[in-house]
Amino acid sequence: MTAQAPRVSVVMSVYNGEEHLREAVDSVLSQTFTDFEFLIVEDGSTDRTLEILRSYDDARIRLIVQ
């Protein structure tokens, strides 16, 4: 049996966003509706953005690195 696809896709792009990144990601992950996938496109940041994103351990997050 295969798992059902999530009902909602949340898409966020980020470039050098370390200052407010945790606040943004945590806000999405803390929603009461939980049947979603969270697609985050990391667009070649030169700050700690990628490091911060990789610190999350949540199966709903799909990280796309450009």
**Tokens 């696809």 -> residue:** 5
Does residue 62 have a pLDDT over 80? yes
Q: What rounded mean pLDDT belongs to the chain?
A: 95
Q: Decide if pLDDT at 51 tops 90.
A: yes
Asked whether the whole model's pTM tops 0.85, one would answer: yes
Report the percentage of the chain scoring pLDDT > 70: 97
Q: Is the pLDDT of residue 1 over 60?
A: no
Distance CA 15, CA 29 (A): 20
Residues 6+ apart with CB under 8 A from 27: none
The fraction of the chain above a pLDDT of 90, given in percent, is 92
User: Hey, what's the torsion of the CAs at 13, 54, 35, 31, to 10 degrees?
Assistant: -80
Which distant-in-sequence residues (6+ apart) come within 8 Å of 14 by Cβ? 21, 24, 40, 41, 42, 43, 45, 49, 53
- The pLDDT of residue 13 is 98
